[in-house]
Structure 1
Amino acid sequence: MRKPLLLIAIFLGSINVFQAQKLDIIPKPVQIEQQGEVFRIPASVRLILDKKLQHSADYIRGEFLKSTGITPNVFIGASQEKKSIVFLVDDTMELPEEGYRLSVKKEGVLVKGKSANGLLNGFQTLLQICSAKAIEKGTIPFVTIEDYPRFEWRGMMLDVSRQFFDKETVKNYIDWLSAHKMNVFHWHLTDDNGWRIEIKSMPDLTLKGAWRGPGEVIPPAYGSGNQRYGGFYTQEDIKEVVAHALARGISIMPEIEIPGHSRAVIGAYPELGCVITHQTKSVQGEVDNVWCVGREENYQVLDGIIKEFTELFPFEYIHVAGDEVNRATWEQCPECQAVMQDEGFTDTFQLQNYFFRRVEKIVEKYNRKAAGWNEIIKGGQLSPKTQIFAWQGVDYGIESAKKGYSTIMIPGQYTYFDMAQSASERGHRWAAIIDTERVYGFEPIPENDLSLDEQKLIKGVQGALWSEYLDRPERFMEYQSYPRISALSEVAWSKKEDKDWDDFYSRLTNSHLQRLSDMGIAFRDFPPTAIYKNGNITVIPPYEGATVHYDAEGKEPTLESLVYTIPIETTDFENYRFRTFFNAFSSSPMVKAEKPPVAQWNTSKVEILKLSENISEHIDKNGIYYLSFHQKDEQTAHGVVREISLFENDNLITTYSEEQLLKSKPQRRFLIEKYSDKNTYRLDFAVENMTEKASSAEVKLHYSPYLEPEVKVTSSMSENPRFPISNLEDYNPDTYLRTDVPCENGDWILYTFTSPVSSSKIEVLTGIPNHPRFFVNDGHVEYSYNGVDFEKGEAFDYGIAYIYPKQPIKAIKIMITGTNHEPIVAGQDLRINP
């Protein structure tokens, strides 16, 4: 009988595993066991809360109703009864501080937590179980869960300076973090572009420093245009938000940006800055944005500000920033130089360290600890209580831990959610293209680089949402946050060995996207894949049940567009566009139909691969084609690409012999001028993998939708040598112009074609590609059919203007009629439609 019994046990165990997966809990619990029965929630169910949860009673009541549709009767500290749901603190549990045990049986539900926050974590798990797709409404399956976080610090930062979000939006954001068992909200309250917190001892910080626009002390920026823009939180607002967060198990760490990123402060109180003879610019191009280190009275001012912060925020840490300080200002300042001389300093990093050691003493005077960005570890020792936030990369976290500092991993390359999520989407790109899978793949503890004791100094992980480019479209802040924060929550909470992308993606798409929707989050959905082959477009939805809409005329699909159901027969695949829609507010980026890769490889050996591919089916007309190499991630981006050649009927058209690293994402341009459907086309290239590391990529060939006529570009404004005017002549979207000066009324940029160009529409773009920065606010386009006489065209709207030529066009001019209130202007290649 042993063998049949063993088989039955294995079978039942597999059922339990299957059912546990269907609960779709995010972040994944440490341990879960499930039986087949369910507890039916009584219509008059009693929720019995430990006295330590009294401050969360209203929150628990409301969320339970939303999740189950049942209005509970809530009792504080009452005795347990059958069919009740009980939350009980038991500080003797052998679990971490925020751990909990959840048990559902026929007698009822019991959640025991090591602390009140442990109970709140258990409550979030209970809500997720009730809202899982496979669970009947009003029931809870019999389950036993033991759970606790991997990291004690699970944070998320929101920048409210560049874009201001009102307190209700902030409270919603905190609700969403709590639903993912995150426990720290890092509130970035001050920066160059706005001071957002009332300080009663310094009223001009908000009277002046909270506003930008014409006539204000801060000029327009980040899409605010020529309107007065801004806002701030009163101290009563702050207290309300702090209480809201604490009821949900969230601590709020406020941030004061000092000594750099302080244009709003210096604008409101100029005497806090340095007196210098020549303006210097920060890395963002800001001026007058650094506190003077040499003015003794500045430390008295900081004492007053920090004192008010500590009265508003009970959390143990105050973040005092320290990133990207324009130290060149101090080099010109007599008072700063006097401090350097008196202290015997030889560089300004030592001066920065002097400043922070004094700030630390102020913070610790009020029984708080200082935190700062990783730059503050330069120039000297800090207080052992100070916590470092490693934003510039994992290596900076390693350096911090090796120096003995408590460290939070927040590397921009994985956890900066202002980064674009794909090459076609809006957002920064300086750190990386960061999609949800990349976030999920981040490992916060570099075990090979740190000793066991040093690893213990990595206290947690955090994400950051800087708001430069969140001004549009509507609710873009939510789109950039989720589901990437869902992935981050599992990085922060779940055991490293339990992480599995496919399993996470299944839980996310089966139930959790619906939970995000029910929370009211306008999240980013996953895009479909559309492949064109043999005259048909076949669309693969991103997950089971996803709805894909499409447009056949090159427009962005909407909810009113056709729904994809079967392969689309067409020879005009370039005009088709596809998007996944979850609801009216949540959708994916738009994608185009693509042909399959023309080649691919996958090797982990030291070898030279010589590939020769017949690509005739990929070339179907005259025009410009781009060959690009797409690796899955950095781990497979090893090797060198060389000797790329395109042949037509075995005759060489173009060859590129120079080497390019695969990680540089090489792209090559080919011009087809004598296309015939009787021609054959062959692509030859070589890849050398010089190590035993993984090297793999898909090679794709894309037809360019735009014309690229020879053009000469000139301007009235001097160029930045690193971003020259000639960048506007290469039709490479990754290169662009940056001037070296601000624009003024009368400035211009002139595009002159070698020969007149026929076009249905020309898009004239200013600003950095995909970023609303340094674009033309006030101005219009002019165009000429003969290169001499110009006609006035459209005004620029958010940096873009369009021309619809009636005959071949010889020249285009960007005419600037006013400042853009930025230190420079950026320009892009023309997009010339056939």
Structure 2
Amino acid sequence: MVIYKVFMLQLRTAAIAMLCCGSVFGQSSPHSIIPEPSLIQLSKGNFNLAPNVALYYNDAEAKKSAELFREFVLIRCGFKLKLINSNKIRSNSISFRHDISAKEQAYELTVEKDRIKLAGKSNGLFYGVQTLQQLIPLRKGSNEIHIPVVSIQDSPRFDYRGLMLDVSRHFFSVPYLKRFLDVMAHFKMNKFHWHLTDDQGWRMEIKRYPKLQTVAAWREPTEMEKNSPYVKDRRYGGFYTQSELKEVIAYAAKRHITVIPEIEMPGHSSAALTAYPKLGCTGGPYTVQKQGGVYKDVYCGGKDLTFEFLQNVLSEVIDVFPSEYIHIGGDETPKDNWIKCPHCQSRIKREGLKDEHELQSYFVQRIEKFVNSKGRKIIGWDEILEGGLAPNATVMSWRGESGGIAAARQKHDAIMSPYTFLYFDYYQSNFKSEPPAFPALLPLQTVYGYEPLSESLRDDEHKYIKGVQGNTWTEMIVDEKHVDYMVYPRALAASEIGWSAPSKKDYTKFLQKLSIRLADLDARQVSFRIPEPEDLRDSVTTQEQLELDFKPSVQDAIVYYTLDGTDPSPMSKRCGPFRISLVDNEPVIIKAMTVLQSGRQSRVYSASYTKKAYKAATPTSTVTKGLAFKSKFGIVQNAKEINISRPDTSGIASSFSTIPFGERTKFYVQYEGYLHADEDAVYKFKVKSDDGAVLYLDDEITVDNDGEHGPVEKQGVAPLRKGYHKIRLQYFDSGGGKHLSVSVEKNGKPYSIGERLFH
């Protein structure tokens, strides 16, 4: 008998005690189901789950779900429910009915006072069990558990709901991968994208090419890896045997998760080239890289030997992975060596190609033909659009949404995975206590707010957007706890993007649900980021006193704080309503930390509270809408240093934007004008930029988002008197991503500045 063990993590004795004997989790929202169901109707009353409840099933598929739920109850509550093979539905029972006529992945769950009914196909039953598990609160005391009376009809918005984990930069164990899959399954995610090869390591056993295991899987360790369990003989690395790969694939399949392998080509191939130098344009020598980045050494597109190697590799990949899709990368392929390589130039002439971009398209299309001949399809990052898209390829759009939009317009399937919303290696907040991450900011609320179907697509093009995927690159992530910290809770927001209709999403409600779900994850030893306490954020006020009360973001957790500059501990003051007194321009620094029921502590978060006088308005006769701007093409390192006397371009812009510069990159610009404040109020300014930007109000820095970085949002607050105020923004783009936006809130509510900018 196969017993499913979805999300059955090895609980500590203390965790079990907390689950079954700890304080009651009073549900502050009507339910705590993530992702939000399609249709849910709550009623009064409860079904009492107790040891005398029987589980009924109608066939072998239904029995799997019944067993899955029984094991959950055994671990959660300590009693084992009886299984009965019967089509009848009796009182004091839970019935699991396999319905072959049901829609794929859909389920119906009805909780009545005397019985529970769950129906769906195999995958629908599975997802219904995840929902039923989430309806069971952590509880205290008797052998009865109260499940609220509810009727749910549910099915996913998108078929593809994925997470990617990069194991090339840093290696992670099979047991950890299984737990990663457990959490995915619990939140109804169904595609695991396994990034197996890159410049920093080759992680899949390929029997025909043993040097991929002995050479390409290992590199010199970095300083932060010196104590890693994956350092052997002064080398960092590891690989999965084909037996281990099949073990993970089978484990995922039982959880209705498809594992999609990625074998990078033609770029990000330093590791493979180190093992087999003849596959490169120069012949080497090559090195398995220690650091992340984009390297010029790529597979030679002119040698038939390259395609022979990759086809042999892919044959073994396809033999191991049953996935319909094989991911072939295709991103970040410098053409430097191809330009100089006689083999590549000969290929370009022989095939009648225009340039090296078309050589990359030739490369991808040749690989696609081989993969198609094996009955499979390819996925590639959006660079595979360059030079012409392979006929049957699916595009994974990461450089924003443009790649996915372009693919859909060409009637190609696309997976939306833009770095601006779904890259989980980015920082989650601006707090200085955050662990190492890629230097860009992606807070939970930004993830949750993503809408995959662009308004720029026609309705008939929406069908080509197959779903969404969150990506976790691990250049800065060295161990499994760090992965957990970066992925959760952002992956829970991504699960709701992929499953729930936009009309069903509500961020405030999501946070209420998240509080309970995180408490549950804590009991299962998932090392998620413990969010900062609610309302702990830098604040500017005109008041002399503030009353504060920081609520924990995890159910039944406790917040401790200090006012004296020291880091808080469980011996510090426990948070409740308290007052602080403020003096002009002398910030009060509050430090806070959250302690969970398990005893796990958050990082220390701090915020400053400052009293400032209103900025006086500036007398002006200005009435012309828009901002004056002047810019130069070139590179600067610091937005504060921008001083343009002889601009290359100048003009009037309707808002702060990079639109006037089109596709140009590597420039800097200065916007100047006036902002009209329509009343005395406290105004909050948010500046999101890639790269640096600094916003001045009345010649004083209000938002400092300076420096070369990815998309980061920072904010500042200023009390303004009614009238006109000087506003200046200095911004530079040093290449790569390009983004600039400014938004304003007045007294905590959105404030449109589009009609209030003048010069």
1:162·1:468 contact (CA, 8 Å) conserved in 2?
yes
Contact 2:550–2:575 (CA under 8 A) maintained in structure 1: no
The correspondence for 1:454, drawn from 455, 461, 482, is: 461
Indicate conservation of the 8 Å contact 1:643/1:684, yes or no.
no
Structure 2's unaligned 5+ residue stretches are 1-25, 617-623, 627-673, 704-710, 730-740, 749-759
Superposition pairs for residues 29-48 of structure 1, below 5 Å? Answer: 29-48=37-56
Going from structure 1 to structure 2, the CA distance change for 1:284 and 1:467 (only over 3 Å counts) comes to closer
Indicate the residue corresponding to 2:596 in structure 1: 582
Q: Which residue does 2:726 correspond to in 1?
A: 686
CA-CA distance at 1:494 after TM superposition: 0.9
- 1:52 equivalent to 2:61? Answer yes
2:698 pairs, out of 644, 650, 658, with: 644
Q: Which amino acid aligns with 1:578?
A: A
- The alpha-carbon distance between structure 1 residues 79 and 566, as it changes in their structure 2 partners (threshold 3 A), is closer
Q: Distance in 2 between matches of 1:33 and 1:655?
A: 47
Q: What one-letter code is carried by the residue in structure 2 that aligns with 1:479?
A: Y
After superposition, the Cα gap between the structure-2 partners of 1:349 and 1:614, relative to the gap in structure 1 and judged at 3 Å, is: same
Q: 1:83 & 1:223 partners in 2: Cα distance?
A: 55
How far is 1:397 from its partner?
Answer: 1.4
SS in 1 for 2:441: coil
Q: Unaligned 5+ residue runs, structure 1?
A: 1-17, 214-218, 619-627, 647-653, 657-662, 669-680, 701-834
Residue 370 of structure 2 corresponds to which residue in structure 1? 362
* Deviation, structure 1 residue 34: 2.7
Matched, 1:71 2:80: yes
Alignment counterpart, residue 558 of structure 2, candidates 547, 556, 563: 547
Classify the secondary structure of the residue corresponding to 1:319. strand
Give the corresponding residue for 2:608: 593
Task: Indicate yes or no: 2:580 matched with 1:564.
Answer: no
User: Structure 1: how far apart are the matches of 2:115 and 2:89?
Assistant: 10
Asked whether the 8 Å contact 1:105–1:142 carries over to 2, the reply is yes
In the TM superposition, 1:487-502 aligns within 5 A as: 487-502=493-508
Alignment partners' CA distance in 1, 2:189 and 2:521: 15
- Is 1:524 the equivalent of 2:579? no
Match of 1:759 in 2: none
**Hey, what's the Cα distance between the residues in 2 that align with 1:445 and 1:598?**
45
> Measured at CA, do residues 31 and 586 of structure 1 come closer, stay the same or move farther in structure 2, by a change above 3 Å?
farther
Partner SS for 1:489? helix
Task: Tell me which residue corresponds to 1:11.
Answer: none
Q: Residue in 2 aligned with 1:766? A: none
Structure exhibiting the larger radius of gyration computed from Cα positions: 1
Work out the CA distance in 1 between the residues paired with 2:266 and 2:252. Answer: 28
Partners of 1:357 and 1:383 within 8 A in 2 = yes
SS in 2 for 1:175: helix
Q: How far 1:153 sits from its partner (Å)?
A: 0.6
Specify the code of the residue in structure 2 equivalent to 1:595: T
Cα deviation for residue 561 of structure 1 reads 4.0
**Alpha-carbon spacing, 1:306–1:222, altered in 2? closer, same or farther (3 Å):** farther
Question: Residue 180 in 1 paired to residue 220 in 2?
Answer: no
Q: Which AA in structure 2 matches 1:513?
A: L
Give 1:351's match in structure 2, choosing from 356, 359, 362.
359
Q: For 1:205 and 1:350, how far apart are their aligned partners in 2?
A: 29
Normalising by structure 2, report the TM-score: 0.73
SS in 2 for 1:324: coil
- Aligned partner of 1:320: which letter? I
Q: What does 1:599-678 align with in structure 2 at a 5 Å threshold?
A: 608-609=674-675, 630-631=685-686, 644-645=698-699
Aligned residue runs from structure 1 range 443-482, under 5 A: 443-446=451-454, 448-471=455-478, 475-482=481-488
How far the C-alpha of 1:600 sits from its partner, in A, is: 9.8
What is the aligned counterpart of 1:148 among 126, 135, 155? 155
Query: SS of the residue aligned with 2:609?
Result: coil
* CA gap 1:392/1:383 in 2 versus in 1, 3 angstroms: same
- Asked if residue 407 in structure 1 is aligned to residue 418 in structure 2, the reply is no
Q: Look up the match of 1:126.
A: 132
Question: Which runs of structure 2 are paired with 1:16-415 in the superposition (5 Å)?
Answer: 21-49=29-57, 50-52=59-61, 59-74=68-83, 82-93=91-102, 95=103, 97-113=104-120, 115-131=121-137, 138-213=145-220, 220=222, 223=225, 227-275=234-282, 285=293, 287=295, 289-384=297-392, 386-415=393-422
Deviations 1:317-358 (A, max 9, x none): 111111101221211222111111111222111111111111
**CA deviation map 1:622-642 (0-9, x unaligned):** xxxxxx9732879xxxx9966
Aligned residues: 626
Q: Describe the superposition over 1:11-45 as per-residue Cα deviations: whole angstroms up to 9, x where unpaired.
A: xxxxxxx9994221111111112332322224154
Identity %: 34
CA shift digits 1:160-192 (9 cap, x unpaired): 111111011111011001111111111111111
Report which structure shows greater RCO (CA 8 Å, sep ≥6). Answer: 2
Amino acid at match of 2:98: V
SS of match in other structure, 2:79: coil
Tell which deviates more after alignment, 170-179 or 511-520: 511-520
- Give the 3 Å change call, closer, same or farther, for CA 599–498 of structure 1 in structure 2: farther
Structure 1 residue 158, shift from structure 2 partner = 0.7
Deviations 1:738-768 (A, max 9, x none): xxxxxxxxxxxxxxxxxxxxxxxxxxxxxxx
- One-letter code aligned to 1:580: T
Residues 1:696 and 2:744 are matched in the alignment: yes
Inter-CA distance 480–294: structure 2 relative to 1 (3 Å threshold): same
User: C-alpha distance in 1, partners of 2:256/2:484?
Assistant: 21
Structure 1 residues 611 and 642, CA gap change in structure 2 (3 angstroms): farther
**Post-superposition shift, 1:58?**
6.0
Root mean square deviation of aligned Cα: 4.2
Q: Distance in 2 between matches of 1:206 and 1:599?
A: 66
